[in-house]
């Protein structure tokens, strides 16, 4: 896989992760359905936030590593 495709894939993962985090926050704070579900609703919103963090945080670190490596390679030329 080329670097450009990998970077695009990582950016998509970041967007999906941030979207899941925002969905979890919305469900927890503003959704009456989740409140009516009780503990199950809390678990659903927490799972959305957790999956969003799993997708977004490590991906950001790896993407930063790739971009720094790319910049270091350009400065050597």
Residue 50 or 3, more confident? 50
Measure the CA–CA gap between 75 and 69, rounded to whole angstroms.
10
The first and second tokens of residue 74, run together, are 């350009």
**Which pTM was predicted?**
0.77
What local confidence, expressed as pLDDT, does residue 77 receive?
59
- Do the beta carbons of residue 17 and residue 27 sit within 8 Å? no
Residue 32 CB coordination number (10 Å):
8
Instruction: Kindly report the length of the chain.
Output: 77
């Amino acid at each position: 896989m080329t670097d450009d495709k990998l970077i695009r894939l990582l950016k998509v993962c970041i967007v999906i992760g941030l979207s899941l985090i925002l969905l979890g926050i919305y469900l927890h704070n503003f959704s009456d359905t989740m409140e009516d579900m009780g503990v199950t609703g809390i678990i659903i919103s927490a799972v959305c936030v957790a999956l969003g963090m799993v997708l977004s945080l490590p991906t950001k670190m790896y993407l930063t590593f790739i971009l720094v490596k790319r910049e270091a390679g350009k400065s050597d030329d």
